[in-house]
Amino acid sequence: MRVAVFSTKPYDVEFLEEANKRHSHTLVYFEPHLTPETCKLGFGFEVVCAFVNDQLNRAILTSLAQHGVRLIALRCAGFNNVDLTAAEDLGITVTRIPSYSPHGVAEHAVALILTLNRKIHRAYNRVRDGNFSLKGLMGFELYGKTAGIVGTGKIGINMVGILRGFGMSVLAFDPCPNPECTSLGGRYVSLSELWALSDIISVHVPLTPETYHMINEQAVGQMKRGVMIINTSRGGIIDTAAVIRGLKSGRIGFLGLDVYEEEGDLFFEDLSEQIIQDDFFMRLLTFPNVVVTGHQAFFTDNALRNIAETTLQNISDYERHQLLPVNRVTRANVRNEK
Ligand code: NAI
pLDDT category, 335, cuts 50, 70, 90?
low
Q: Does residue 305 carry a catalytic annotation?
A: no
Atom of ligand 1 nearest to the CA of 178: 9
pTM of the model: 0.93
- Residue 338, pLDDT > 50, answer no
Q: How far is CA 5 from CA 12, 116, 199, in A?
A: 9, 36, 42
Residue closest to 158 by CA, chosen among 101, 234, 103: 103
pLDDT in tens, 66-120: 999 999 999 998 899 999 999 999 999 999 998 888 999 999 999 999 999 999 9
pLDDT in tens, 12-32: 999 999 999 999 999 999 999
Q: What are the structural domains of the chain? A: 2-100+300-336 (3.40.50.720), 102-292 (3.40.50.720)
- Best mutation site among 205, 214, 260, 337 for ligand 1 pocket (most ligand atoms within 8 Å of CB): 205
User: Catalytic residue among 33, 234, 261, 309, which?
Assistant: 234
Distance of CA 323 to the CA centre of its chain: 24
pLDDT category, 143, cuts 50, 70, 90?
very high
Residues with C-beta less than 6 Å from any ligand 1 atom: 77-78, 99, 102, 105, 150-156, 173-176, 204-207, 210-211, 232-234, 258-259, 295, 297-298, 338
Three-state SS string over the chain comes to CEEEECCCCHHHHHHHHHHHCCCCCEEEECCCCCCCCCHHHHCCCCEEEECCCCCECHHHHHHHHHCCCCEEEECCCCCCCECHHHHHHCCCEEECCCCCCHHHHHHHHHHHHHHHHCCHHHHHHHHHCCCCCCCCCCCCCCCCCEEEEECCCHHHHHHHHHHHHCCCEEEEECCCCCHHHHHCCEEECCHHHHHHHCCEEEECCCCCCCCCCCECHHHHHHCCCCEEEEECCCHHHECHHHHHHHHHHCCEEEEEECCCCCHHHCCCCCCCCCCCCCHHHHHHHCCCCEEECCCCCCCCHHHHHHHHHHHHHHHHHHHCCCCCHHHECCHHHHHHHC
Atom of ligand 1 nearest to the CA of 298: 40
- Best mutation site among 204, 234, 300 for ligand 1 pocket (most ligand atoms within 8 Å of CB): 204
- Residue 202, pLDDT > 70, answer yes
CA of 96 to the centre of ligand 1 (A): 14
**Mean predicted confidence (pLDDT) in 36-59:** 97
Q: Does residue 234 carry a catalytic annotation?
A: yes
Q: Does residue 263 carry a catalytic annotation?
A: yes
- Residue 200, pLDDT > 90, answer yes
Q: Do residues 184 and 166 touch, judged by C-beta distance below 8 A?
A: no
Q: Please name the residue whose Cα sits nearest to atom 32 of ligand 1.
A: 206
Q: How many percent of the chain have pLDDT more than 70? A: 99
Atom of ligand 1 nearest to the CA of 214: 18
pLDDT in tens, 317-329: 999 999 998 999 9
Q: How many percent of the chain have pLDDT more than 90? A: 95
Atom of ligand 1 nearest to the CA of 205: 7
pLDDT (0 to 100) of residue 337? 52
